[in-house]
Amino acid sequence: MSHTHNLPAKIALLKVRQVTLYCKGEEEELSEDKYGELHGFMSDIHSLSRLNTSICWQQSSLNWLRDGDANSKYFLSVLASRRRRNSLCSIVVDGVLVEGVQPVRNVVCSHFANHFRAQRAARPGIGHLQFRQLSCMEGGSLIKPFFVNEFKAVVWDCDSFKSPGPDAINLGFIKDFWVEMKDDIVSGQHSGGI
């Protein structure tokens, strides 16, 4: 057990020696032996930290097994009172008091089974409804191309710091370079780009 005595102090000492070597390496070129020593420090710090974590975990488990949970009595009493408060000993169904575990269970199960059972109700259909249809001219207007002034109105109505996509080009950029970009934007609607 002597090799695990005061592990945090050993880890701290190794870290100090590691930092000292780092500082020396910034001032001058380190030899191969010093690089090996630096690598050894890092390896030792890692293994001692894992060992320290394992020992701390084991000690906390032993302490809990030895001392137990100091609040167990309180929490068990809260659990028991909640269980008593949530228990259903009797229930009134259609003016009749039902008592006992199995009769209450049967009444509750039958209530929810009836409640969630699919009912055959007459639902209104839409087969007889008359919907207004678009004329050929109205349908054609849905696919007609946009004009440049319509694109410009949409861009100018938007906040300059918003972006229309993940490409990180915000609308302020498009506003600033509208003259250069408007032809590309308008031609993009024909090629499916917009």
What span, in angstroms and rounded, lies between the C-alpha atoms of 158 and 17? Answer: 59
Q: How confident is the model at residue 157 (pLDDT cuts 50, 70, 90)?
A: very high
pTM of the model: 0.34
Q: Residues 49-80: pLDDT tens digits? A: 889 888 888 888 787 777 666 667 787 888 88
Strand partners, 108: none
Nearest in space to 93 (alpha carbons), one of 76, 75, 109: 109
Q: How many helices (H) and strands (E) does the chain have?
A: 8, 2
Residue spans of the domains in the chain: they are 2-67, 144-191
**AA letter at 82:** R
**Rounded mean pLDDT, 103-118:** 86
For residue 138, the model assigns a pLDDT of 87
What span, in angstroms and rounded, lies between the C-alpha atoms of 150 and 179? Answer: 15
| Greater model confidence, 189 or 64 | 64
